[in-house]
């Protein structure tokens, strides 16, 4: 369970105030996959980053009853001079999981070949996302935060990523940002729509998608 209580976030951009979270209070249930929908720039990724703890809110608080992943596919915390394998080893030690097991899993899953043992700074953006996705899937969390990650890689890798993610979500919750409504329908059962800093919960996924699509028409 993740509970947002009076959560607010405001940025100052070129002297202009932009509020992406305006006193939001909502509960994301345990073991439920929820689609986080909203137009580009609405603040969906910022909301995920606040939930993960990588961005501080302007006001309010976030409560949780289990472990929460970083945004799946986010590679910003990897050290550029370490190899992929060394970065995975570092993450394993931080989270207290089996180092050898996680390295073996990520090397096989990410399909980076020899690049797995080269410095992270040499990776393309797609390779970075595949490494980050592999690390995320290799560590069990109670809630996964997902930000368009299944769009990474070729058709085979996308299919493998989607299948593994669905298997993980048999036992875990998720908050998922995606512009693919077909992917949302495959994974999610409820929706939360972010518009003008307000987050509206929809128990019925199709109702939430319909609201989002009407917002996109305006």
Provide the β-strand partners of residue 200: 193
* 129 in any annotated domain: no
Average pLDDT over residues 48-56: 93
In this predicted model, which residue has the larger pLDDT, 197 or 155?
197
- pLDDT given at position 86: 98
pLDDT at 73 over 80: no
* 13 in any annotated domain: yes
Range of the domain at 186: 1-67+143-154+172-218
- pLDDT given at position 116: 98
pLDDT in tens, 88-99: 999 999 999 999
* 181 in any annotated domain: yes
Inter-residue contact 145 to 70 (CB < 8 Å): yes
In this predicted model, which residue has the larger pLDDT, 183 or 83?
83
* 38 in any annotated domain: yes
- pLDDT given at position 149: 64
* 77 in any annotated domain: no
pLDDT in tens, 99-157: 999 999 999 999 999 999 999 999 998 898 889 889 989 999 999 999 876 556 677 88
- pLDDT given at position 152: 61
Average pLDDT over residues 188-194: 97
- pLDDT given at position 158: 80
Q: How many domains does the chain have?
A: 1
- pLDDT given at position 193: 98
* 4 in any annotated domain: yes
Provide the β-strand partners of residue 28: 2
* 18 in any annotated domain: yes
pTM: 0.86
pLDDT at 74 over 70: no
CATH of residue 188? 3.40.50.300
Euclidean distance between CA atoms 97 and 91, whole angstroms: 9
Inter-residue contact 43 to 193 (CB < 8 Å): no
Quick one: 15 exposed, middle or buried, by C-beta within 10 A (0-12, 13-18, 19+)? exposed
Burial 48-76 (b: 16+ CB within 10 A, else e): bbbbbeeeebeebebebeeebbbbbbbbe
Average pLDDT over residues 178-202: 94
pLDDT at 172 over 60: yes
């Amino acid at each position: 369970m993740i509970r947002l209580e009076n959560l607010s976030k405001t940025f100052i951009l070129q002297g202009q105030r932009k509020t992406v979270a305006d006193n939001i209070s909502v509960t994301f249930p345990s073991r439920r996959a929820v689609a986080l929908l909203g137009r580009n720039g609405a603040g969906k990724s910022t909301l995920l980053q606040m939930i993960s703890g990588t961005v501080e809110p302007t006001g309010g608080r976030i409560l949780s009853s289990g472990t929460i992943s970083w945004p799946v596919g986010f590679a910003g915390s990897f050290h550029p001079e370490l190899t992929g394998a060394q970065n995975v080893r570092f993450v394993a030690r931080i989270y207290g999981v089996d180092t050898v097991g996680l390295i073996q899993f990520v090397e096989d899953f990410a399909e980076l070949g020899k690049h797995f043992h080269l410095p992270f700074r040499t990776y393309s953006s797609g390779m970075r996302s595949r490494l980050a996705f592999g690390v995320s899937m290799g560590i069990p969390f109670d809630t996964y935060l997902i930000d368009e990650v299944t769009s990474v890689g070729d058709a085979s890798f996308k299919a493998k990523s989607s299948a593994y993610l669905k298997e993980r979500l048999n036992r875990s919750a998720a908050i998922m940002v995606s512009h693919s409504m077909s992917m949302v329908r495959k994974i999610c059962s409820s929706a939360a729509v972010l518009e003008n800093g307000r987050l509206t919960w929809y128990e019925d996924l199709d109702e939430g998608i319909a609201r989002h699509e009407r917002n996109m028409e305006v």
